[in-house]
């Protein structure tokens, strides 16, 4: 029987390669409803990034490297950016779009083949934990493993988002989405570090989300 993590990874690679063949260089390939929604979510992370000057930012599940361009356009100071993904189609497109010496892209699976050393100072993960895995694996176990691995690969901090169980009443629940209870996630994060921040007060996009920052130190 195949390792569930490898099975999930293969399913995700196939999903996005199929979307890329169908839609190409489109925001919809990555599952975003619009560029405005994507940029709004990115903007919500800015208050959690901390001091980025001289830091290496790692974008896990980077897609087309859109967060790199957002950082540049927002005037965020940083030393370098590493975009990490498991899909070579998306990485190839990202390399074409990001012709900047500060940006590099690598295929790394931090669940099935976690690096032995930290990847950078600040890790971000957007939309990574949203898919309902159903019979493949328990979503909470998957989230705990993903967050724990990612945090161990960040020298300073990890920032990740999730779709919340505190749903917007006007937006129907979707079968393919996993809704995380913020209290459950916070309890787990406090097992990793006492330095935890939760952002849960921004506008739904279109579903209500939360964003968490975990830090290794007080800085």
Give me the pLDDT at residue 139, please. Answer: 97
Alpha carbon distance 200, 133 (integer Å): 24
- 145-174 residue pLDDT tens: 999 999 999 999 999 999 999 998 888 889
Give me the pLDDT at residue 111, please. Answer: 94
Average pLDDT, the chain: 95
Q: In the structure, what pLDDT confidence band is assigned to residue 33 with cuts at 50, 70 and 90?
A: confident
Give me the pLDDT at residue 62, please. Answer: 97
pLDDT higher than threshold 90 for residue 215 = yes
Alpha carbon distance 2, 46 (integer Å): 39
pLDDT higher than threshold 70 for residue 2 = no
The burial of 157, by beta-carbon neighbours within 10 Å (0-12 exposed, 13-18 middle, 19 or more buried), is given as buried
Q: Rounded to the nearest 10 degrees, how much is the dihedral formed by the CA atoms of 126, 132, 135, 137?
A: 30
Rounded mean pLDDT, 66-74: 97
Rounded mean pLDDT, 97-108: 95
Q: Which domains, ranges and CATH numbers included, belong to the chain?
A: 4-215 (3.40.50.150)
Rounded mean pLDDT, 194-215: 96
| For helices 88-97 and 4-23, angle between their N-to-C axes, nearest 10 degrees | 50
Beta bridge partners of 9: none
pLDDT higher than threshold 70 for residue 71 = yes
pLDDT higher than threshold 60 for residue 90 = yes
Give me the pLDDT at residue 58, please. Answer: 98
Q: In the structure, what pLDDT confidence band is assigned to residue 217 with cuts at 50, 70 and 90?
A: confident
Rounded mean pLDDT, 16-30: 94
pTM (global) more than 0.85: yes
Q: In the structure, what pLDDT confidence band is assigned to residue 1 with cuts at 50, 70 and 90?
A: very low
Q: What does residue 75 show for φ and ψ, rounded to 5 degrees?
A: 75, 25
């Amino acid at each position: 029987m195949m390792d569930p993590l490898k099975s999930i990874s293969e399913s995700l690679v196939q999903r996005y390669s199929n979307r890329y063949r169908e839609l190409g260089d489109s925001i919809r390939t990555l599952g975003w409803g619009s560029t405005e929604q994507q940029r709004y979510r990115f903007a919500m992370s800015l208050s959690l990034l901390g001091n980025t000057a001289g830091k290496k930012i790692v974008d896990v599940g980077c897609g087309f490297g859109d967060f790199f361009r957002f950082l540049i356009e927002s005037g965020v100071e940083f030393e370098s950016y590493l975009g990490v993904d498991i899909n070579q189609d998306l990485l190839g497109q990202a390399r074409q779009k990001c012709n900047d010496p500060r940006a590099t892209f690598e295929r790394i699976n931090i669940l099935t083949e976690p690096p032995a050393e930290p990847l950078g100072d600040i890790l971000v993960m957007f939309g990574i934990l949203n898919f309902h895995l159903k019979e493949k694996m328990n979503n909470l176990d998957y989230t705990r493993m993903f967050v724990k691995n990612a945090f161990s690969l960040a020298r300073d901090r990890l920032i990740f988002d999730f779709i919340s169980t505190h749903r917007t009443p006007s937006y129907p629940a979707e079968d393919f989405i996993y809704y995380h209870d913020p209290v459950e996630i916070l309890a787990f994060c406090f097992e990793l570090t006492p330095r935890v921040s939760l952002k849960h007060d921004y506008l739904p996009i279109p579903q209500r989300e939360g964003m968490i920052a975990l830090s290794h130190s007080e800085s």
